[in-house]
Amino acid sequence: MPIRFLCSFFVLFFVSGCVSVYSQSGNSEIFLFDLRSTASGVSFEGGKNISKSPGYDNQPSFGNKGDSVLYTSIRNERSPDIFEYMISTGKTKQITKTDESEYTPRSKNLKIISFIREGKGQGMTVWNYNRETKRESKAFPNKEPVAYYDWNSKGGALVWVRYAWRALYLEPAKKISIFVTEHVQPSSPQNIPGTDKFSFIQRQGNDELWVKEFDPSNRAVRPIVRPKDGSIDYCWLPDGTLVTGSGSKLFGFNEGRDKDWVEIADLSKFGLKDITRLAASPDGKRMAVVSNQ
Protein backbone atom coordinates (compact mmCIF):
# COMPACT_ATOMS: atom_id res chain seq x y z
CA MET A 1 0.00 0.00 0.00
CA PRO A 2 1.47 3.41 -0.93
CA ILE A 3 2.84 5.37 2.01
CA ARG A 4 0.92 8.49 1.00
CA PHE A 5 -2.38 6.68 1.10
CA LEU A 6 -1.58 4.77 4.27
CA CYS A 7 -0.87 8.00 6.14
CA SER A 8 -4.07 9.67 5.01
CA PHE A 9 -5.97 6.49 5.73
CA PHE A 10 -4.77 6.45 9.33
CA VAL A 11 -5.82 10.04 9.87
CA LEU A 12 -9.22 9.55 8.32
CA PHE A 13 -10.21 6.23 9.82
CA PHE A 14 -8.23 5.83 13.02
CA VAL A 15 -10.83 7.09 15.40
CA SER A 16 -13.34 4.42 16.30
CA GLY A 17 -14.75 0.96 15.75
CA CYS A 18 -16.20 0.29 12.36
CA VAL A 19 -14.21 2.93 10.51
CA SER A 20 -10.81 2.39 12.06
CA VAL A 21 -7.86 1.34 9.96
CA TYR A 22 -7.23 -1.67 12.16
CA SER A 23 -10.77 -2.97 11.72
CA GLN A 24 -11.20 -2.35 8.00
CA SER A 25 -7.78 -2.32 6.37
CA GLY A 26 -7.48 -6.10 6.18
CA ASN A 27 -9.57 -8.30 3.93
CA SER A 28 -12.99 -6.67 3.75
CA GLU A 29 -15.53 -8.00 1.26
CA ILE A 30 -18.95 -6.82 0.08
CA PHE A 31 -21.87 -9.25 0.14
CA LEU A 32 -25.14 -8.65 -1.71
CA PHE A 33 -28.39 -9.87 -0.14
CA ASP A 34 -31.97 -10.04 -1.33
CA LEU A 35 -34.47 -8.95 1.32
CA ARG A 36 -37.79 -10.80 1.56
CA SER A 37 -40.68 -9.81 3.81
CA THR A 38 -41.90 -12.63 6.05
CA ALA A 39 -44.57 -13.01 8.72
CA SER A 40 -41.92 -12.59 11.40
CA GLY A 41 -40.02 -9.73 9.77
CA VAL A 42 -37.45 -9.87 6.97
CA SER A 43 -35.42 -12.71 5.47
CA PHE A 44 -31.91 -12.23 4.07
CA GLU A 45 -31.17 -14.42 1.05
CA GLY A 46 -28.28 -14.85 -1.38
CA GLY A 47 -25.24 -13.41 0.32
CA LYS A 48 -23.13 -13.25 -2.86
CA ASN A 49 -19.60 -11.89 -2.54
CA ILE A 50 -19.60 -9.22 -5.26
CA SER A 51 -16.12 -7.76 -4.67
CA LYS A 52 -13.96 -10.91 -4.54
CA SER A 53 -10.70 -9.04 -4.28
CA PRO A 54 -8.03 -9.44 -1.59
CA GLY A 55 -7.60 -6.39 0.58
CA TYR A 56 -9.87 -3.38 0.92
CA ASP A 57 -13.34 -3.52 -0.67
CA ASN A 58 -15.70 -1.16 1.09
CA GLN A 59 -18.04 1.85 1.13
CA PRO A 60 -20.90 0.39 -0.96
CA SER A 61 -23.83 2.42 -2.25
CA PHE A 62 -26.55 1.60 -4.75
CA GLY A 63 -27.26 3.24 -8.09
CA ASN A 64 -30.44 5.30 -8.36
CA LYS A 65 -32.35 2.41 -9.92
CA GLY A 66 -30.94 -0.10 -7.46
CA ASP A 67 -29.47 -2.11 -10.32
CA SER A 68 -25.81 -1.62 -9.41
CA VAL A 69 -23.50 -1.27 -6.42
CA LEU A 70 -20.75 1.35 -6.37
CA TYR A 71 -17.83 0.75 -4.04
CA THR A 72 -14.21 1.57 -3.23
CA SER A 73 -11.48 -1.00 -3.83
CA ILE A 74 -7.69 -1.10 -3.56
CA ARG A 75 -6.27 -3.43 -6.20
CA ASN A 76 -2.79 -4.29 -7.42
CA GLU A 77 -1.23 -2.17 -4.65
CA ARG A 78 -2.67 0.97 -6.22
CA SER A 79 -4.46 3.81 -4.48
CA PRO A 80 -8.22 3.30 -3.99
CA ASP A 81 -10.47 3.54 -7.04
CA ILE A 82 -14.21 3.41 -7.67
CA PHE A 83 -15.81 0.26 -9.10
CA GLU A 84 -19.37 -0.60 -10.07
CA TYR A 85 -20.97 -4.04 -9.86
CA MET A 86 -23.88 -4.58 -12.26
CA ILE A 87 -26.43 -6.81 -10.54
CA SER A 88 -28.19 -8.13 -13.67
CA THR A 89 -24.99 -9.33 -15.38
CA GLY A 90 -22.71 -9.95 -12.41
CA LYS A 91 -20.00 -7.93 -14.14
CA THR A 92 -17.79 -5.27 -12.56
CA LYS A 93 -16.43 -2.18 -14.28
CA GLN A 94 -13.83 0.28 -13.07
CA ILE A 95 -14.99 3.90 -12.91
CA THR A 96 -11.75 5.63 -11.88
CA LYS A 97 -8.14 4.67 -12.48
CA THR A 98 -5.88 7.43 -11.23
CA ASP A 99 -2.84 8.05 -9.06
CA GLU A 100 -5.07 9.92 -6.61
CA SER A 101 -7.31 8.29 -4.01
CA GLU A 102 -11.04 8.02 -4.72
CA TYR A 103 -13.64 6.79 -2.28
CA THR A 104 -17.17 7.35 -0.86
CA PRO A 105 -19.00 6.86 -4.19
CA ARG A 106 -22.60 8.00 -4.56
CA SER A 107 -25.04 7.91 -7.45
CA LYS A 108 -26.12 11.55 -7.49
CA ASN A 109 -28.62 10.94 -10.29
CA LEU A 110 -28.93 8.71 -13.35
CA LYS A 111 -26.09 10.52 -15.12
CA ILE A 112 -23.72 11.54 -12.34
CA ILE A 113 -21.56 9.48 -9.99
CA SER A 114 -19.89 11.48 -7.24
CA PHE A 115 -16.90 10.55 -5.09
CA ILE A 116 -14.22 11.97 -2.83
CA ARG A 117 -10.83 12.57 -4.45
CA GLU A 118 -7.62 13.21 -2.54
CA GLY A 119 -4.10 13.77 -3.83
CA LYS A 120 -1.65 15.89 -5.80
CA GLY A 121 -2.10 18.99 -3.70
CA GLN A 122 -5.81 19.34 -4.42
CA GLY A 123 -6.95 18.49 -0.89
CA MET A 124 -10.07 16.42 -0.40
CA THR A 125 -13.23 17.34 -2.23
CA VAL A 126 -16.26 15.86 -3.99
CA TRP A 127 -16.00 15.22 -7.71
CA ASN A 128 -18.70 14.42 -10.26
CA TYR A 129 -18.26 11.84 -13.02
CA ASN A 130 -20.64 12.06 -15.98
CA ARG A 131 -21.57 8.59 -17.24
CA GLU A 132 -22.39 9.88 -20.72
CA THR A 133 -19.45 12.18 -21.43
CA LYS A 134 -16.93 10.39 -19.14
CA ARG A 135 -15.85 13.84 -17.96
CA GLU A 136 -15.12 14.83 -14.38
CA SER A 137 -15.64 18.10 -12.53
CA LYS A 138 -15.63 19.36 -8.96
CA ALA A 139 -19.04 19.18 -7.31
CA PHE A 140 -18.41 22.30 -5.23
CA PRO A 141 -15.41 24.55 -4.49
CA ASN A 142 -14.99 23.71 -0.80
CA LYS A 143 -12.05 25.19 1.07
CA GLU A 144 -12.10 22.60 3.86
CA PRO A 145 -11.31 18.90 3.33
CA VAL A 146 -14.49 16.87 2.89
CA ALA A 147 -14.20 13.16 3.64
CA TYR A 148 -17.83 11.99 3.85
CA TYR A 149 -21.08 13.30 2.40
CA ASP A 150 -24.50 12.45 0.99
CA TRP A 151 -26.98 14.18 -1.30
CA ASN A 152 -30.68 14.94 -1.05
CA SER A 153 -33.19 15.44 -3.86
CA LYS A 154 -32.64 19.22 -3.88
CA GLY A 155 -28.97 18.82 -4.74
CA GLY A 156 -27.97 19.69 -1.19
CA ALA A 157 -25.20 17.81 0.58
CA LEU A 158 -24.42 17.21 4.23
CA VAL A 159 -20.65 16.87 4.49
CA TRP A 160 -18.23 15.77 7.20
CA VAL A 161 -15.19 18.03 7.44
CA ARG A 162 -11.97 16.19 8.13
CA TYR A 163 -9.82 17.37 11.06
CA ALA A 164 -12.52 19.82 12.25
CA TRP A 165 -15.01 16.99 12.87
CA ARG A 166 -17.97 19.14 11.99
CA ALA A 167 -20.92 18.94 9.62
CA LEU A 168 -21.77 21.51 6.98
CA TYR A 169 -24.82 21.69 4.74
CA LEU A 170 -24.09 22.82 1.18
CA GLU A 171 -26.30 23.68 -1.79
CA PRO A 172 -23.80 24.33 -4.59
CA ALA A 173 -26.36 25.65 -7.09
CA LYS A 174 -27.48 28.35 -4.63
CA LYS A 175 -24.01 28.87 -3.15
CA ILE A 176 -25.41 28.03 0.28
CA SER A 177 -23.07 26.89 3.06
CA ILE A 178 -24.48 26.34 6.56
CA PHE A 179 -22.64 25.25 9.68
CA VAL A 180 -24.64 22.43 11.29
CA THR A 181 -22.78 21.18 14.36
CA GLU A 182 -19.47 19.96 15.80
CA HIS A 183 -18.16 16.71 17.32
CA VAL A 184 -19.50 14.74 14.36
CA GLN A 185 -18.03 11.27 14.03
CA PRO A 186 -16.16 10.05 10.90
CA SER A 187 -19.14 8.28 9.41
CA SER A 188 -20.91 9.07 6.16
CA PRO A 189 -24.04 11.21 6.57
CA GLN A 190 -27.16 9.53 5.22
CA ASN A 191 -30.08 11.03 3.36
CA ILE A 192 -33.23 9.85 5.16
CA PRO A 193 -35.43 8.06 2.56
CA GLY A 194 -38.45 9.97 1.33
CA THR A 195 -37.20 13.26 2.77
CA ASP A 196 -34.55 15.91 2.22
CA LYS A 197 -33.30 15.41 5.77
CA PHE A 198 -30.04 13.77 6.80
CA SER A 199 -28.78 11.65 9.66
CA PHE A 200 -25.31 11.67 11.18
CA ILE A 201 -23.46 10.45 14.28
CA GLN A 202 -22.49 12.94 16.97
CA ARG A 203 -20.57 12.57 20.23
CA GLN A 204 -22.22 14.70 22.89
CA GLY A 205 -20.60 16.56 25.75
CA ASN A 206 -21.35 13.64 28.10
CA ASP A 207 -19.42 11.37 25.69
CA GLU A 208 -22.57 9.58 24.47
CA LEU A 209 -22.92 8.79 20.78
CA TRP A 210 -26.23 9.55 19.10
CA VAL A 211 -27.70 9.14 15.65
CA LYS A 212 -29.15 12.58 14.93
CA GLU A 213 -31.32 14.17 12.27
CA PHE A 214 -30.68 17.43 10.43
CA ASP A 215 -33.53 19.20 8.63
CA PRO A 216 -32.22 21.73 6.07
CA SER A 217 -35.62 23.46 5.85
CA ASN A 218 -35.41 24.82 9.39
CA ARG A 219 -31.81 23.90 10.32
CA ALA A 220 -33.07 21.87 13.27
CA VAL A 221 -31.03 19.01 14.77
CA ARG A 222 -32.70 16.36 16.91
CA PRO A 223 -31.67 13.00 18.43
CA ILE A 224 -33.02 9.73 17.04
CA VAL A 225 -31.34 6.83 18.86
CA ARG A 226 -28.04 5.82 20.41
CA PRO A 227 -25.97 3.56 18.11
CA LYS A 228 -25.97 -0.17 18.79
CA ASP A 229 -22.76 -1.20 20.60
CA GLY A 230 -21.14 2.08 19.60
CA SER A 231 -21.19 1.29 15.88
CA ILE A 232 -21.12 4.35 13.63
CA ASP A 233 -22.03 2.42 10.47
CA TYR A 234 -25.67 2.05 9.48
CA CYS A 235 -28.15 2.47 6.64
CA TRP A 236 -31.82 3.37 6.19
CA LEU A 237 -34.59 1.24 4.73
CA PRO A 238 -37.38 3.02 2.81
CA ASP A 239 -39.87 2.47 5.66
CA GLY A 240 -37.74 4.54 8.05
CA THR A 241 -35.95 1.64 9.73
CA LEU A 242 -32.31 2.09 10.68
CA VAL A 243 -30.13 -1.00 10.25
CA THR A 244 -26.72 -1.53 11.85
CA GLY A 245 -24.36 -4.44 12.41
CA SER A 246 -22.65 -5.97 15.42
CA GLY A 247 -20.50 -9.03 14.89
CA SER A 248 -22.39 -11.32 12.51
CA LYS A 249 -25.80 -9.87 13.39
CA LEU A 250 -27.95 -7.07 12.03
CA PHE A 251 -30.18 -4.95 14.21
CA GLY A 252 -33.02 -2.63 13.27
CA PHE A 253 -34.63 0.39 14.87
CA ASN A 254 -37.79 2.13 13.70
CA GLU A 255 -38.58 5.29 15.63
CA GLY A 256 -42.30 4.82 15.09
CA ARG A 257 -42.51 1.40 16.71
CA ASP A 258 -39.32 0.42 18.54
CA LYS A 259 -37.98 1.47 21.93
CA ASP A 260 -34.54 -0.02 21.27
CA TRP A 261 -32.57 -1.93 18.65
CA VAL A 262 -34.09 -5.29 17.65
CA GLU A 263 -32.17 -8.20 16.12
CA ILE A 264 -33.38 -8.81 12.57
CA ALA A 265 -30.83 -11.26 11.14
CA ASP A 266 -27.78 -13.38 11.89
CA LEU A 267 -25.58 -13.62 8.82
CA SER A 268 -23.04 -16.04 10.28
CA LYS A 269 -24.47 -18.82 8.09
CA PHE A 270 -23.21 -16.84 5.09
CA GLY A 271 -19.71 -16.66 6.56
CA LEU A 272 -19.96 -13.06 7.80
CA LYS A 273 -18.43 -12.42 11.20
CA ASP A 274 -17.54 -8.73 11.52
CA ILE A 275 -20.15 -6.54 9.83
CA THR A 276 -19.25 -2.90 9.24
CA ARG A 277 -20.71 -0.70 6.50
CA LEU A 278 -24.16 -1.22 5.02
CA ALA A 279 -26.18 0.12 2.10
CA ALA A 280 -29.80 -0.52 1.10
CA SER A 281 -31.23 -0.22 -2.40
CA PRO A 282 -33.77 2.58 -2.98
CA ASP A 283 -36.66 0.08 -3.05
CA GLY A 284 -35.41 -1.75 0.05
CA LYS A 285 -35.24 -5.09 -1.74
CA ARG A 286 -31.46 -5.48 -1.55
CA MET A 287 -28.70 -4.75 0.92
CA ALA A 288 -24.94 -4.60 0.49
CA VAL A 289 -23.10 -5.68 3.63
CA VAL A 290 -19.38 -5.22 4.30
CA SER A 291 -17.66 -7.79 6.50
CA ASN A 292 -14.06 -8.01 7.62
CA GLN A 293 -13.09 -11.55 6.73
Beta carbons within 8 Å of 64's beta carbon, 6+ residues apart: 107, 109, 110, 282
Region of poorest pLDDT, from 7-11, 67-71, 288-292: 7-11
* Average pLDDT taken over every residue of the chain: 91
What is the structure's pLDDT at 143?
84
> Residue 42: inside a domain, yes or no?
yes
Q: Is the model's pLDDT at 14 over the cut of 60?
A: no
Region of residue 104 (phi > 0: left; psi between -120 and 50: alpha; otherwise: beta): left
> Residue 16: inside a domain, yes or no?
no
Domain, as residue range, for 243? 28-292
What is the structure's pLDDT at 11?
34
What is the model's pTM? Answer: 0.89
Average pLDDT for residues 252-270, to the nearest whole number?
Answer: 97
At residue 181, what is the residue type?
T
> Residue 240: inside a domain, yes or no?
yes
Q: What is the DSSP string of 88-132?
A: TTTEEEE----SSEEEEEEE-SSSEEEEEEE-TT--EEEEEEETT
Q: Is the model's pLDDT at 23 over the cut of 90?
A: no
Q: Is the model's pLDDT at 204 over the cut of 50?
A: yes
> Residue 245: inside a domain, yes or no?
yes
What is the structure's pLDDT at 122?
66
**Pairwise CA distance, residues 269 & 82, whole Å:** 29
Residues 216-244 pLDDT 10s: 999 999 999 999 999 999 999 999 999 99
Average pLDDT for residues 169-198, to the nearest whole number?
Answer: 96
Using alpha carbons only, give the angle 96, 21, 136 rounded to the nearest 5 degrees.
Answer: 20
The residue among 57 and 22 whose pLDDT is bigger is: 57
Q: Are 139 and 114 in contact (CB under 8 A)?
A: yes
**Pairwise CA distance, residues 70 & 68, whole Å:** 7
> Residue 4: inside a domain, yes or no?
no
Q: Are 228 and 251 in contact (CB under 8 A)?
A: yes
Average pLDDT for residues 162-186, to the nearest whole number?
Answer: 96
> Residue 225: inside a domain, yes or no?
yes
- Here the contacts of 117-125 (C-beta below 8 Å, separation 24 or greater) are 118/8, 118/145, 119/4, 119/79, 124/162
**Pairwise CA distance, residues 223 & 119, whole Å:** 35
**Pairwise CA distance, residues 8 & 151, whole Å:** 24
**Pairwise CA distance, residues 172 & 158, whole Å:** 11
What is the structure's pLDDT at 119?
86
Average pLDDT for residues 263-284, to the nearest whole number?
Answer: 97
Region of poorest pLDDT, from 38-42, 96-100, 127-131, 223-227: 38-42
Q: Provide the number of structural domains found in the chain.
A: 1
Average pLDDT for residues 31-40, to the nearest whole number?
Answer: 92
> Residue 6: inside a domain, yes or no?
no
Average pLDDT for residues 141-162, to the nearest whole number?
Answer: 95
**Phi, psi at 116, each rounded to 5°:** -85, 135
> How far is CA 91 from its chain centroid?
22
> Residue 149: inside a domain, yes or no?
yes
What is the structure's pLDDT at 7?
37
Residues 50-106 pLDDT 10s: 999 999 999 999 999 999 999 999 998 889 999 999 999 999 999 999 999 999 999
CATH number at residue 188: 2.120.10.30
Q: Is the model's pLDDT at 210 over the cut of 90?
A: yes
**Pairwise CA distance, residues 222 & 68, whole Å:** 33
